[in-house]
Chains A and B, each alone.
Chain A
Amino acid sequence: MHELGIVFHIIRSVEEVGRENRIRRVLAVTLELGEVSGVVESYLQDCWQWAAARSEMLAGAALEVETIPARTLCEACGEVYPTVRYGRTCPACGSAQTHLLQGNETMIRDITVPEDGADASAAESAEAVCAGSGRHGTNAEL
C-alpha cells in the first residue's frame, strides 16, 4: 500500500524539476527500482495510472521501471552473491556479517519531455509514447 505514497512523491519531485526547467508536459519517467526495495512494481503501475492522470504535467506519462538486481557482500570472505536467492547469510562461508551493495534503490533516473517548442503538440506525442510502450494501453485512452 506504500506504493501510492511513493507515487505521490515521484510526481511531486518530477513536478518540481519540471517547474524549474519550465517544462509543461512530461512524456515518461524512468525509475530505478531495486529487487529488495520492497516496492511492488505492478501496484506501483496501478497507483501511477490513477495519480499521474490527475497531474497536469504528468497526465498520460508512462512510468518505465528498470529493475536493479540485489547483490550482497560478505565481509568475512569477500564473496558477492545474489541477495534474493541467499538472503543475509553468505552461501560461501555461512557468515551473517554481510551487507547489501545494491538492490535497495527507488531512484528517479530521468524524465522524457518534448523537445523545446514542442509544447503545442505535446498531447499527441504523449499519446504516441504511451501507445508505443505497450504497457499502458489504458493510458492511451486518457
Chain B
Amino acid sequence: MDEVRILEIKQSVFASNDREADRLRNELKEKGVFLLNLMSSPGSGKTTTLRRTIEALKDEMKIGVMEADIDSDVDARSIAKTGVKAIQLHTGGMCHLDAGMTRQGLEGLGTDDVELTILENVGNLVCPAEFDTGAVKNAMILSVPEGDDKPLKYPLMFSICDVVLINKIDVMPYFDFDLEKCREYIRMRNPAAKVIPICARTGEGIGEWAEWLRSKVRAWRG
C-alpha cells in the first residue's frame, strides 16, 4: 500500500456554516436588513402568524418573506396576497436551510428595498436548530395541541430561540396544556428566551409580538 499521511482538522461539522452565517449577518448589518428566522413544527400556524405579523407591521416597514419548503408554493402564494414581496425556496428534500441557502434566497428576493426579511424555515423542530441561517434573531412557534413538554423533547431548538410564541391559546381549555409549566420548561433550557402567548386566528397577543419585533428591527438598523 502507498504511503499515507494524516492531517489533523479538529473542526466542528457546523464550523464552516457558522462562519458563513456570521459573514451573512455582517453584510445584513451593513445593508440595514433585519433577518428573522421563524421555525416550528408543521401545522403550528407559522403562515397564519406571519400574515398577522405582516398586517401589524407593513405600514411602518418594508417586509420581504422567504418561504422554505421541501416542495410546493402554497405558502408563498398565501403570503403574496398580503401585498409584501414573497418568494418560495425549495430545499430539494433537505429538512433545513443553512447559511448558504439563505444567502441564495436573499439574492433571489432582492433586499435593496427591504427592512425586515422573514425566513419561514422548514417545519421541523430538530434540524433547523443545528444550522445557523445568518438570521439576526431566531423565533419559534409552539402550538397548544403539540403539548407543553416540547421544550424537554427538543431542547436544542428552544435553547437557540430568542422568542417563543405559544400559538392557538384559544383552544387551551380543550387540551392538557399547562402554560406555566411550559414557561418553566422553556426557562430550564433557555432562561433568556421571551415567551409570548398568541392566537394567530383571533389576533390575540399579536400586538405584543409585533412590538418585540419592531424594537429588535429598530435596534439592528440603528
Contacts and interface: CB of A to CB of B under 8 A. Distances in A.
A92 interface: no
Contact of B14 (A9, A113, A118): A9
B131 interface: yes
Contact of B130 (A2, A4, A10, A105): A2
A5 B10 contact: no
A124 B7 CA distance: 20
Interface in B123-173: 126-127, 130-131, 156
Contacts of A110: 6-10
B3 A5 contact: no
B95 A9 contact: no
B131 to A, nearest CB: 7
Contacts of A96: 188
B2 A113 contact: no
B215 interface: no
A76 to B, nearest CB: 14
B96 interface: yes
Interface stretch (A11-19, A52-60, A77-85, A133-141): A11-19
Contacts of B95: 1-2, 5
A2 B4 contact: no
Residue among B14, B16, B95, B96 having the largest count of chain A Cβ atoms under 10 Å: B16
Contact of A6 (B9, B13, B93, B156): B13
Contacts of B11: 13, 17, 107-108
A27 B4 contact: yes
Interface residues of B, number: 28
A118 B9 contact: no
B30 to A, nearest CB: 25
Interface residues of A, number: 37
A17 B13 contact: no
A112 B5 contact: yes
Nearest to A122: B2
A17 B9 contact: yes
Given A9-B98, A128-B1, A108 B9 contact: yes
A23 B126 CA distance: 35
Contacts of A1: 93-95, 127
Contacts of A12: 16
A72 interface: no
A21 B7 contact: yes
24 contacts: A1-B93, A2-B96, A2-B126, A2-B130, A4-B94, A5-B131, A6-B13, A13-B15, A16-B16, A17-B11, A31-B13, A38-B130, A108-B10, A108-B13, A110-B8, A110-B9, A111-B6, A111-B9, A112-B4, A118-B3, A121-B2, A125-B1, A129-B1, A132-B1
Interface of B: 1-17, 93-96, 98, 126-127, 130-131, 156, 188
The 4 closest A-B pairs by CB, nearest first: A115-B3, A2-B127, A125-B2, A106-B13
